[in-house]
Amino acid sequence: MSEYERELGKIVETYLGVEDHGILTATLGIDFGGAQQGIGGYFLDAYDATRESRHGTAEGMEFVRRLLKACGVESWERLRGRTVYVLRKQGEGRWGAIVGIENLPTESGERFLFEEAFPRR
């Protein structure tokens, strides 16, 4: 038995940019056939006190790279419309936190657990 529950969903919205607090983030909107849930929202940058500004991080770029690879696409613009499995920890139910995504067996891509991009968090 897997430690993750899978649910089929379609990526219907994407966001990669600087949100209103000045933080670089990425979010995907997943449609489960009438109900939607957002995933992502991780900080893809960090505040540097010596420069008194935010800067990109290796972990943030790794998150974007792995997300593209998991969905079997080469560009952010191609994420919308992809059908994937979303992964939740076993027993958390339909609205538990999504901890990763996985490609369909008939399509290119691979499993990506989000924590793999942020090993120090």
Structure tokens at 108: 């290119």
pLDDT tens sequence across 48-96: 999 999 999 999 999 999 999 999 999 999 999 999 999 998 877 777 8
**Max Cα–Cα distance, the chain, nearest Å:** 48
CA angle 109, 113, 114 (to 5 degrees): 110
- Looking at residue 103, the DSSP 8-state letter turns out to be -
pLDDT tens sequence across 102-120: 999 999 999 999 999 987 6
> Do residues 15 and 32 touch, judged by C-beta distance below 8 A?
no
Helices (H), the chain: 58-71
Domain assignment of residue 74, given as a range: 4-117
Dist CA 43 CA 23 (whole Å): 6
Number of domains in the chain: 1
Report, in angstroms and rounded to the nearest whole number, the Rg of the chain calculated over CA atoms: 15
- Binned at pLDDT 50, 70 and 90, residue 97 comes out as confident
